Amino acid sequence: MSTTTGERTLSFDEALATFDPVMGLEVHVELGTNTKMFCGCPTEFGAEPNTQVCPVCLGLPGALPVVNAVAVESAIRIGLALNCSIAEWCRFARKNYFYPDMPKNFQTSQYDEPIAFDGHLDVELEDGSTFRVEIERAHMEEDTGKSLHVGGATGRIHGATHSLVDYNRAGIPLIEIVTKPIVATREKAPEVAKAYVATLRDLLKAMDVSDVKMEQGSMRCDVNLSLMPRDGDTFGTRTETKNVNSLRSVERAVRYEIGRHAAVLTDGGSITQETRHWHEDTGITTSGRIKSDAEDYRYFPEPDLVPVAPSRETVEALRATLPEPPAERRRRLQTAWGYSDLEMRDVLNAGLVGLVEETVAAGASPAAARKWWSGEIARRANTEGEDVPAYAARLGVTPAHVVELEGLVTSGRLNDSMARQAWEGVLDGEGTPTAVADARGLELVQDTGALEAAVDAVIAANPDVAAKIRDGKVQAVGALIGQVMREMKGQADAGAARAIILERLGQA
Amino acid sequence: MTTDLTRATAAELADLLGAGSVSSREVTRALLDRTTAVDGVVRSYLHVDEDGALAAADDVDRRRAAGEGLHALAGVPIAVKDVMATRGLPTTCGSRILEGWVPPYDATVVRRLREAGMPILGKTNMDEFAMGSSTEHSAFGPSHNPWDLDRIPGGSGGGSSSVVASFQAPLAIGTDTGGSIRQPAAVTGTVGTKPTYGGVSRYGLVALASSLDQAGPCSRTVLDSALLHEVIAGHDPMDSTSVDAPVPAVVEAARRADVSGMRIGIVRELTGEGFQPGVQARFDEAVQHLVDAGAEVVEVSCPSFTYALAAYYLILPSEASSNLAKFDAMRYGMRVTPDGVDAPSAEQVMAATRDAGFGDEVKRRIILGTYALSSGYYDAYYGSAQKVRRLIANDFAAAFETADVLVTPTAPTTAFRLGDKLDDPMSMYLNDIATIPANLAGIPGLSLPSGLADEDGLPAGFQVLAPAMVDDRLYSVGAALEARLAAAWGGPLLDRAPDLTEVSR
Ligand SMILES: [Zn+2]
C-alpha cells in the first residue's frame, strides 16, 4: 500500500456535522527503572544491540522471571496519580502469540487483574475549560525486542532479505494506561486527545517515573477511534492507530481518522476493525492487520510468578510521595509570580518552570528569573539542540548567577545593557556576573560631577533640542540621553542623566 | 581397597573421601568405567562428560589435600536429568528441537552441586520435555530397566533412575511433574523424592508445567536422598515461587529413622482395585513393618482424587503449550526451512521447525493445552481443573488432620514392557494415578522399594506423602521402613538385580 496518498476523507467540519467521535487512548510508558521488569539487566537506551540481555529476558529454556519491585511501586504511584483504585491482590498473566522479536512467544502482562483501575485525569483545554478523561486501568507488562528488516526498499519485512533482532528492549517495564471510551468531545476530540497525552506526559515526568520521550518510543500512544451518528448512543466499529509518537501526531491522527471514517460511512461503506499505521510525514494512516474480537491470546495466570499483593500501608506510603499535580502547580506558580497567561505559557513551553522556581527561591524577582533564563541562554541552548535546564547544567550556570546579576542591576552598578554583557560573559565561561563585570570594566559612573559635565556639554552642542525641551516637548529628552551615554561610553545611569537634563532645562 | 566404589552409597563414599581412603578421581573413574561397561545396554545417558567430571574430581582432591573445609558430599559424583540447564554441557530435554544446544548458564540446582564439589558425570535420558511415564518418548531412544532390559525404567526420569539402579552413579537429579521421580524409582527399585513445591529452585529447570515441576534426588538409599536434598534445597531469589523458609532437617530425620507413635494414613482411593496384586501385597507387608516399628495405622479418604488425573491432564498441557512456545527456531536449537517455499516467512520456519522438532506426545499435549486455554473453553477446562486442584489440596489438608503421613503404592504396576503402551497414551497416563495428587497440591512425596512383585519378580514402590514443608517426615518413615526391609531381605534389594556386565559383553 502506498503511503503517500491517503483514502478519501471528509473535511473535519463536514464529518462533525453528521457524526460524533468516540475515542479510546492506550498509552504505553516505559518506566525509568534501572533494571528490567523481570531480571537485573540494565535498561539504558541506545546501547549496542543485544548487550543488555540475560537468560531471563532472552527467554532461554529454564530461565525464570522475578518481578522488579521498583516497577511495581512506579505502577502503584502512577495508578494513584490517575486517581485509580489499587488492587489488593493481582497477578500477571501470559498473553500467548508467536512473534519473532518476543523471546518467549508469550508476553508477561496483566489481563483481568490490573494493578490499578477506575481512575480519571482532568485535562485543561485551550479555552480554559476542563475535560475529565475516565481511566479504565493501568497495568504492568514487559516490552518486546525490536526487529530490523534488512535488504528491502521500505525497511519493512516485505522484500527484506533478512531480519535482525535486538533484545535490549525485551523485558523493559511498561505501564499501559487505557482510557474508558471518551465521548461528548465533538469537534474538540483532537484537542482532547492531544491535551490528555500532554497532561499525562507532564504528570509522569513530574513523578520521575519515565523520561516520556515520545520520539524515542519511551511513551507511545495507540488511538482507537469510531464514529456514531450525531447524538446517537451506539458505538461504531473502531480502528486502532498504533504507535503514534508525538503530541501533534495524536491530534492529527484523530482528525484524519474522523475524516476517513466519515467518508466511508457517508459513502454507505462500513469500517473494518483493524490496526492502522500512522505516517508522520504524510499525516495519514494506512491499513495494517485485521483484528477481530475473537483474537485468542489464551491468557492464563503466569505460573512462574507469585501474585502481587501490596499492603495498604505501602500504598499510602507511596501516595505520600506523589508530587503536586502539574496543572495545580502551574496555577499556583503563575499566581505567585504574577505572570500573564502569555508569559506563563512561554515559560512552560521552554521548560523553564523548575529553573524559574529555583531562581525565585534563591532570591531573584520572578521578572528577572523569567528574563534571564529565556533570553540569550535560550537562544544558545536552542542552537546546541538542548533544553535550557540541561544546557545550563552543562555550563555550570546556576540560579545563584541570576540572583547575583539582578543584584548588580538593583544596586545601581550595572545598567541593562551592561547586565546583558555580564550575562554573556557568564555564558562564555568567564565566571560569575561580578567577576565578568570586574574583568570587563563594567560599571556605571557614580561621579555626578562627570555626568553633569557631560550633560552640559551635550546641551551646549544641541541648542535646538534643548530649546524644544524648554518649551515642554519633554519626549525629545531621549536624543540627549543617547548622546550623554555615548559621551560616557555607556557607563552612565540613564535615569540619572535624564533627571539632570530635565533639571537643567527647567522641566524637573 | 576391596570396596566396589560403584556399589558404595553416597554416604559411604562421603566417609571414604572424608577419611582420605579414596580420591574423588578414583570414584569418578570407577563410575565412568561402569558406564562404559553397561550403558550400551541400559542407555541412561544422553551425554557423558568424562573430562568435566574428572576435572571437577581433581579440583576437589586438590582442595581436600590443601586442607580446605569441604561439603560432606564433596567429591561424590552425580548424574543430572537432561532437563536442567548446565553451562557448557548440552541440554536437550530429550528433544530434537534442542539438539546441540549448550546453555550459557547453570540451573540453580546445578550451581549448588558444583559449589558442593560434586563432579557431574553427565546428563540422563528422559521422555521428551518430560512428557511420558516410560522414557520411550525420548527423541534419542528409550532407556532400559536394569532389572529387565525389555522393560521401561519409568518416566519421564527413566535415565536418572536407571543410572542409579545400574550403579553408574550413586546419585542423580530428577524432576517430578506428576511422578517422574517417584514412579521411575518404584519400577527400578531405587529411592526418589519430590520435595515440597518451591523447596528446590526451578531456575534453570526447562519448564514442562511451571506450577507442578519440582526437582529432587534419585538415589539408592533414603539417607542418600536426604543428603542430596540438603544440597539442592533452599530459597533462591531467582525463582519467585521458591519458598523462603529454612530447609527441613531431612538428614537428621533420615538418620533417626523413627516412626514410633506416628499415625500412618492409608488412602482408601489409592489402594486395592486397579493395583497389581504383587504390588499391593508388598505394600501391605510394608505397612505391617511400620506398625511393628511402633506406628499407628489409620484409613483416610480423599474423594476428589478421582478427578486428579483429569485435572492434571488439563493443567499440564495448558502450561506446557505456553512454556514450549519459545522453541521457535529463532534463537537456538534446530531450524528447519519448509520444503518447496522460496522465501519462507518467520512463521513458516517456526511451523516447519516445530513440526520436525517435536515428537508425537509433545504435539499431542501442545494441541490439548492450546485447546484447553482457548477463550471459549477456558472456564470449562483450565478453570475447572484449577477448582479440582483446590479440592484435592483440601482433601490432603483434611487427611493430614488425622494422619502424620499418607502412604500408597507408588505406581499401580511394576515396569511394563517397552512398546506395550506406546499406542495407548491413556493407559500410560494411569501409571501416575498415585503420584499426581501430590504435584497438584504441592506437597512432598518419597518412593522407596517395597520388594519384588510375586508375578514378575520386578520391584514395587512404596510412597510416603507429608504436608508441605514437612519433608523431614518422609525421611523418618522411609528410613525406618528401609531398615526393616533390608533386615528382612538380608541386604539392599538392588543386590538382587541382574549383573549387567554379563549382558553387555
Ligand atoms: Zn535480562
Instruction: Annotate B450-466 with DSSP letters as a single string.
Output: EEE-TTT--EEEEEEE-
Tens-digit pLDDT profile for residues B170-196: 999 999 999 999 999 999 999 999 999
State the CB neighbour count (10 A cutoff) for residue B221.
Answer: 23
Tens-digit pLDDT profile for residues A186-212: 999 999 999 999 999 999 999 999 999
**Distance (Å, rounded) from C-alpha A2 to C-alpha A441?**
65
B384/A contact by beta carbon, under 8 A: no
A294/B contact by beta carbon, under 8 A: yes
The pTM score is 0.87
Peptide bond into B180 cis (omega under 30): no
pLDDT attached to residue B505: 62
Closest by Cα among A28, A26, A29, A19 to A223: A26
* Nearest residue, CB atoms, B240 vs list A59, A157, A306: A306
Q: How far is the CA of B348 from the centre of ligand 1 (A)?
A: 28
pLDDT attached to residue B1: 44
Which of A141-155, B399-413, B418-432 is predicted with the least confidence, judged by mean pLDDT?
A141-155
* Nearest residue, CB atoms, B325 vs list A100, A105, A304: A105
Question: Is the pLDDT score of A242 beyond 70?
Answer: yes
For residues A214 and A245, is the Cβ–Cβ distance under 8 A?
A: yes
CA distance A139 to chain B (A): 20
pLDDT attached to residue B288: 98
pLDDT attached to residue A413: 87
* List B143, B156, B162, B219, catalytic entry: B156
**Distance (Å, rounded) from C-alpha B264 to C-alpha B474?**
11
Which of B34-38, B224-228, B277-281, B331-335 is predicted with the least confidence, judged by mean pLDDT?
B331-335
Confidence category of residue B423, pLDDT binned at 50, 70, 90 = confident
In DSSP terms, B461 is beta-bridged to B449
How would you class A129 by CB atoms within 10 Å of its CB: exposed for 0-12, middle for 13-18, buried for 19 or more?
Answer: exposed
Asked if the Cβ–Cβ distance from B241 to A66 is below 8 Å, we say no
Residue numbers in B near A92 (CB within 8 A): none
Question: Is the pLDDT score of A448 beyond 80?
Answer: no
Report phi then psi at A274, rounded to 5.
-160, 165
pLDDT attached to residue A291: 72
A66/B contact by beta carbon, under 8 A: yes
* List B81, B123, B194, B421, catalytic entry: B81
Confidence category of residue A6, pLDDT binned at 50, 70, 90 = confident
A182/B contact by beta carbon, under 8 A: no
B143 is catalytic: no
Closest by Cα among B141, B228, B137 to B475: B228
Confidence category of residue A444, pLDDT binned at 50, 70, 90 = confident
Report phi then psi at B69, rounded to 5.
-75, 120
Q: How far is the CA of A167 from the centre of ligand 1 (A)?
A: 9
How large is the average pLDDT for residues B269-277? 91
**Distance (Å, rounded) from C-alpha A210 to C-alpha B404?**
54
Confidence category of residue A292, pLDDT binned at 50, 70, 90 = low
Asked if the Cβ–Cβ distance from B98 to A61 is below 8 Å, we say yes
Asked if the Cβ–Cβ distance from B203 to A63 is below 8 Å, we say yes
**All cell numbers assigned to A441:** 570594566
Mean pLDDT of chain A: 91
Closest by Cα among B441, B315, B432, B442 to B390: B441
Confidence category of residue A100, pLDDT binned at 50, 70, 90 = confident
Question: Is the pLDDT score of A3 beyond 50?
Answer: no
Mean pLDDT of chain B: 96
Q: Which residue of A has its CA nearest to B93?
A: A61
**Distance (Å, rounded) from C-alpha B280 to C-alpha A102?**
50
Asked if the Cβ–Cβ distance from B328 to A105 is below 8 Å, we say yes
How large is the average pLDDT for residues B441-462? 98
Counted across chains A and B, CB pairs separated by less than 8 A come out at 105
A64/B contact by beta carbon, under 8 A: yes
Q: Quickly tell me which residue has 496483566 as its cell.
A: A110
B156 is catalytic: yes
How large is the average pLDDT for residues B221-247? 98
pLDDT attached to residue A151: 81
Residue numbers in B near A62 (CB within 8 A): 84-85, 91, 103, 107, 203-207
Confidence category of residue A293, pLDDT binned at 50, 70, 90 = low
How large is the average pLDDT for residues B408-434? 92
Which of A128-137, A434-443, B94-103, B446-455 is predicted with the least confidence, judged by mean pLDDT?
A434-443
Closest by Cα among B11, B12, B14, B411 to B226: B11
pLDDT attached to residue A1: 37
A296/B contact by beta carbon, under 8 A: yes
Q: Collapsing DSSP states into helix, strand and coil, what is residue B299?
A: strand
DSSP letter (8 states) at residue B415: P
Kindly provide the ipTM of the predicted complex, given to two decimals: 0.95
Q: Which helix (H) or strand (E) holds B232?
A: helix B222-232
**Distance (Å, rounded) from C-alpha A66 to C-alpha B240?**
5
How large is the average pLDDT for residues A244-253? 94
Q: Collapsing DSSP states into helix, strand and coil, what is residue A42?
A: strand
Residue that wins the pLDDT comparison between B130 and A458? B130
**Distance (Å, rounded) from C-alpha B397 to C-alpha A486?**
100
B239/A contact by beta carbon, under 8 A: yes
Q: Collapsing DSSP states into helix, strand and coil, what is residue A242?
A: strand
Q: Collapsing DSSP states into helix, strand and coil, what is residue B151?
A: strand
Which of A100-114, A444-458, B153-167 is predicted with the least confidence, judged by mean pLDDT?
A444-458
Tens-digit pLDDT profile for residues B302-317: 999 999 999 999 999 9
Tens-digit pLDDT profile for residues B38-86: 999 999 999 999 999 999 999 999 999 999 999 999 999 999 999 999 9
Q: How far is the CA of A63 from the centre of ligand 1 (A)?
A: 10
Q: Which helix (H) or strand (E) holds A196?
A: helix A189-207
Question: Is the pLDDT score of A2 beyond 80?
Answer: no
Q: How far is the CA of B95 from the centre of ligand 1 (A)?
A: 26
How large is the average pLDDT for residues A444-457? 81
Most distant CA atoms of chain B, gap in Å: 74
Question: Is the pLDDT score of A54 beyond 60?
Answer: yes
Which of A53-67, A124-138, A145-159, A473-487 is predicted with the least confidence, judged by mean pLDDT?
A145-159
